[in-house]
Structure 1
Amino acid sequence: MDLLAKEGVFFENAFTNQPLCAPARACLLTGQYATTHGVWRNGPLLKAQDNTLAHCFKKAGYRTGYVGKWHLYDKDPGYVPPQHRAGFADYWVASNVLEFTSHPYEGTLYDGSGKEVRFSGVYRVDFVTEKLIEFLEQDGNSPFFAMISYLEPHQQNDLNRMVGPEGYAKKYRNPYVPPDLLALTGDWFEQLPDYYGSIARIDECLGRIISALKKKGVFENTIIVFLSDHGCHFHTRVGEYKRSCHDSSIRIPFVMRGPGFNRRLAVKELVGIVDLAPTLLEAAGLPQVPGTMQGKSLVPLVDRKAVNWENEIFVQISESLISRAVRTEQWKYCVATPDRKGHEAPSSDTYAEYQMYDLFADPWELNNLAGRNQYSEAAAHLKERLIAKMAEAGEKVPEILPSKFNTSWA
């Protein structure tokens, strides 16, 4: 990862637009916000459409392949029928909800025809990597678009913990602890060694993928993207691992390396996961970015030719709350429904101010300023910006009420 960041483009301030597994993946593939593509929580189907990343590359003559966790089908935790693979047509070794069909050292994925692909005695990250390399080694002359989706460092749900490769937790038994975790209770003390261990193995497997591309002779002609669907705050915020507006939940790694991106550049502007799809299509020279995509190409940022870049990120949150947030360079402003549960609906007509942070003064988001009179002017401006972002995303303009929550913990 360090090598890719050093040689390519490192987006220092990258964010998911929905800090939850399935919605974030759909945002990535469609370039749309969750209320547009319809996968607003875990469970709904990503409906068939012709303008996903994979569809666009397939129509342009690329082979398309997918390996790992899918999480965008609503009927089965394992096998995903071809018509629900969003354009990944030429190679498929995946499981819809990989944490339900496997464990870190054994389990089942499914190939394109639905045949079980079992593994045992090998770490899941290694096995998934082997399957991607298998795809890369096929048909040396055709351009390809491939996506590998690791489960790790996500927790193994039925074990309620992260699981690193054997022996790796010992390497990180006295790990660095980010200040926002250190200040709050949670399960980070128990989980960080395995969390860091699984990330280390992903990094090693990324090296294996790079070696396979070099062996194939296509490394310098391949755009490589590394990013995550969301972060993790280790039960320090909403009683679980994500689904909150805090940077520990929404901020993600994002690196690109390859033709057009070998710039040794760190981009400081704020970018979102919805921006990836139009960026890849433009960078690959495809004739037209579909009008259905709501994200913006990052190519002008990389070329340092962007004019009036809107340095704001819009975040939709579900399951824990029905919530919306805007993140600027200095501020975080979040609203939520005080009387509705997060799994009830994708949106609401009414919200109340919930959380507000001055990121210059409080980068670890430990002092909630929502409802404080001395910040009313800033809150009013942020409220306007959030409503504008909601309208831009196709949502109804809501009513936003003053703070109604007991937010002393937030």
Structure 2
Amino acid sequence: MQPNIVLIQTDQQSAETLALYGNPLVRTPHLDQLAKQGVLFEKAFCNYPACSPSRSSMMTGRYASTIRVHANHMLIDPREISLPQVLREGGYQTALIGKNHAFPKETLHQVFDHAVQGEHGHLVDGHRDDPEAKAAHQWAVDHCWRSPLGHGTNPAPYEKCGTYLLGQSAADYMEQARQPEKPFFMWLSFPDPHTPYQTPEPYASMYSPEDVPMPPYDDLKTKPERQRVMHAMDAMDRADEQTIRSVRAIHYGMISFIDDAIGRVMAKLEELGLSDNTVILFTSDHGDSMGAHGLIQKHNAFYDTFTHVPLIMAWPGKSLAGIRSPHPIELVDIMPTILDLAECPIPYGVQGRSCASYLLGQSYEPREFVVIESGEEGEPIRMEEIGKRPSDPFDESCFVWCAYRDAWYGKGKSIRTAEWKLNLYTNGDGELYRLTEDPHELTNEYGNPEWESVVIELERKLLRWSLANEDRLPVNDTVKLNYRQQAT
């Protein structure tokens, strides 16, 4: 019997925001329980540190450079084969509950049988005319939308806020719209804890700013100039520690709000007798710097705080349980893994690697390293080009820097092993971090003669990876002569 699949995804949440990954403060009892039922991947990474490229690569199992989704304004080409499409063709009923930001409108309703979309703020299909939900959304827009560090306590009842409404919409789908004769795939996609940084009570005051852990200071002096531009354009050079602590505390509250919504979804699965035959995955599309490296939100950079994401996979009673996996894994691996578990064919051209065998306790050959991409064609903005910029972190006159297309100019690739991370950029910039000695990535060793051999070896690995991942599509069927086929 094909299992049901529930893929739960948050937006802009680093792994470090969960106690499961070492956070000393954030409470997520429902995710903790899910991890006990399955496998927690300690070294899971997105393939691009921005929403659409990450989601698009995850939903196609193909790298952003392959599918040509180089930045947030780009979506999946309708000619690409996607996860919900293959599942639908394999007999699944497919549903999207929440944020899309991957599929164009014309494709969305071809691959999803049921869709309840939700947006940043609190607008959710089926509740857009609810006066209290509209008021919650408007408060977020008025107070926390445009400035880099705008944050606060939304005065709306939590039952009228997007996270709660999406959790309820997922439960309603399973109880009322699901076709019992078919297995279902549900992509439950929470737009939070992405900006706007705001949440209602009791979550807004759940964590005291004085208690939140702070990242170590990074002066960015040895880092690529684009990072100093990010620092300036979000006015992080004018942000005090107390403000950053307050933003982090709200961010944590948003995460606990999501965990409660996940708990209600899991309770509904149990109530409907679906738990034993449902695979549940939890992850995020990318991280949020939250003040680390003097940065906020997401950016065209490869720090772990942007790229290291939570990942839990569980099939109660069938998967390994209570396991913490040290194996590197990428979000492009989710599509082939789900298709293997669903007994559906993996399309030719998929570049991710299934870890279904590992999840089920069978033999598995893990990755040696992960590769992450970022940026689109163009020259990065330089410090000397900056004219108008925010006067302070609450200045709404410029909007947040990561929303500008210019912020993503300048392509790069990153290769990360257990010990090293090498970041290379088309303009010649580079970064090298010895992660075993410098886990916070503060000391850029690129250009240090002592580690020249390390750079050369990592460059070779990245070159071989690039050769192996050149696109195989469309299939070339113009040449008919094939020696091996003739020999047989």
TM-score of the alignment, normalized to the shorter chain, above 0.5: yes
Q: Residue 245 of structure 1: SS of its match in structure 2?
A: coil
Change (3 A) 1:306 1:369: farther
The reply to whether residue 246 of structure 1 matches residue 296 of structure 2 is no
Give the corresponding residue for 1:163. Answer: 198
Q: Residue 309 of structure 1: SS of its match in structure 2?
A: coil
Which of 415, 433, 437 is the equivalent residue of 1:357? 433
Q: Which letter does structure 2 place at the counterpart of 1:66?
A: L
Deviation at 1:15, TM superposition (A): 0.4
Q: Please give the per-residue CA displacement for 1:337-388, whole angstroms capped at 9, x wherever unaligned.
A: 33xxxxxxxxxxxxx2511100111111111111111111111111111222
Give the corresponding residue for 1:333. Answer: 422
Distance 1:381 1:29 in 2: 31
Distance 2:319 2:326 in 1: 15
Superposed, 1:143-292 pairs within 5 Å as: 143-156=183-196, 162-174=197-209, 177=212, 181-184=215-218, 186=236, 188-237=244-293, 239-243=295-299, 244-258=301-315, 260-286=318-344, 288-292=345-349
Q: Residue 86 of structure 2: SS of its match in structure 1?
A: helix
Change (3 A) 1:217 1:276: same
Q: Please give the per-residue CA displacement for 1:18-57, whole angstroms capped at 9, x wherever unaligned.
A: 1100011111111010011222211123111463110111
The reply to whether residue 87 of structure 1 matches residue 111 of structure 2 is yes
The reply to whether residue 51 of structure 1 matches residue 108 of structure 2 is no
Q: Please give the per-residue CA displacement for 1:37-78, whole angstroms capped at 9, x wherever unaligned.
A: 22221112311146311011111111100011111356xxxx
Give the corresponding residue for 1:62. Answer: 92
The reply to whether residue 297 of structure 1 matches residue 354 of structure 2 is yes
Distance 1:228 1:236 in 2: 18
Change (3 A) 1:242 1:126: same
Give the corresponding residue for 2:70. Answer: 40
- Say if 2:284 and 2:310, in contact at 8 Å, map to a contact too: yes
Q: Which letter does structure 1 place at the counterpart of 2:342?
A: A
Q: Residue 56 of structure 2: SS of its match in structure 1?
A: helix
Change (3 A) 1:313 1:84: same
Distance 2:165 2:347 in 1: 34
Q: Please give the per-residue CA displacement for 1:300-347, whole angstroms capped at 9, x wherever unaligned.
A: 333455455332101001216311100111110001133xxxxxxxxx
After alignment, is 311-320 or 132-141 more displaced?
Answer: 132-141
Q: Residue 199 of structure 2: SS of its match in structure 1?
A: coil
Distance 1:380 1:178 in 2: 36
Q: Which letter does structure 1 place at the counterpart of 2:338?
A: L
Distance 2:360 2:168 in 1: 35
The reply to whether residue 23 of structure 1 matches residue 53 of structure 2 is yes
Q: Residue 95 of structure 2: SS of its match in structure 1?
A: strand
Instruction: Give 1 or 2 for the bigger CA radius of gyration.
Output: 2
After alignment, is 316-325 or 55-64 more displaced?
Answer: 316-325
Q: Which letter does structure 2 place at the counterpart of 1:144?
A: F
Give the corresponding residue for 1:3. Answer: 33
- Say if 2:319 and 2:360, in contact at 8 Å, map to a contact too: no
If asked which structure has higher relative contact order (CA below 8 Å, sep 6+), I would say 2
* Higher strand proportion (structure 1 or 2): 1
Distance 1:307 1:35 in 2: 27
Give the corresponding residue for 1:315. Answer: 372
Q: Which letter does structure 2 place at the counterpart of 1:16?
A: C
Change (3 A) 1:303 1:42: same
- Say if 2:329 and 2:367, in contact at 8 Å, map to a contact too: no
- Say if 1:93 and 1:117, in contact at 8 Å, map to a contact too: no
After alignment, is 254-263 or 270-279 more displaced?
Answer: 254-263
After alignment, is 16-25 or 181-190 more displaced?
Answer: 181-190
What TM-score comes out, normalization by structure 1 length?
Answer: 0.81
Q: Residue 326 of structure 1: SS of its match in structure 2?
A: strand
Q: Which letter does structure 2 place at the counterpart of 1:54?
A: P
Distance 1:357 1:306 in 2: 32
Distance 2:309 2:199 in 1: 20
Identity of aligned residues (%): 26
The reply to whether residue 135 of structure 1 matches residue 173 of structure 2 is yes
- Say if 1:267 and 1:302, in contact at 8 Å, map to a contact too: no
Deviation at 1:176, TM superposition (A): 5.6
Distance 1:213 1:390 in 2: 42
Q: Which letter does structure 2 place at the counterpart of 1:165?
A: P
- Say if 2:42 and 2:324, in contact at 8 Å, map to a contact too: yes
Change (3 A) 1:308 1:62: closer
Q: Which letter does structure 1 place at the counterpart of 2:368?
A: N
Which of 162, 177, 181 is the equivalent residue of 1:124? 162
Structure 2 residue runs of 5 or longer lacking an equivalent are 1-30, 135-155, 220-235, 376-407, 472-488
Distance 1:175 1:221 in 2: 43
Q: Residue 316 of structure 1: SS of its match in structure 2?
A: strand
Deviation at 1:116, TM superposition (A): 5.8
Deviation at 1:298, TM superposition (A): 0.6
Aligned length: 358
Distance 1:8 1:140 in 2: 25
Distance 1:304 1:376 in 2: 39
Q: Please give the per-residue CA displacement for 1:82-129, whole angstroms capped at 9, x wherever unaligned.
A: x345611x211115xx23xxx24xx3x447xxx966544511100111
Q: Which letter does structure 1 place at the counterpart of 2:41?
A: F
Deviation at 1:393, TM superposition (A): 2.6
Q: Please give the per-residue CA displacement for 1:224-257, whole angstroms capped at 9, x wherever unaligned.
A: 1100000111254474422321111100000011
Distance 2:327 2:210 in 1: 29
* Higher helix proportion (structure 1 or 2): 2
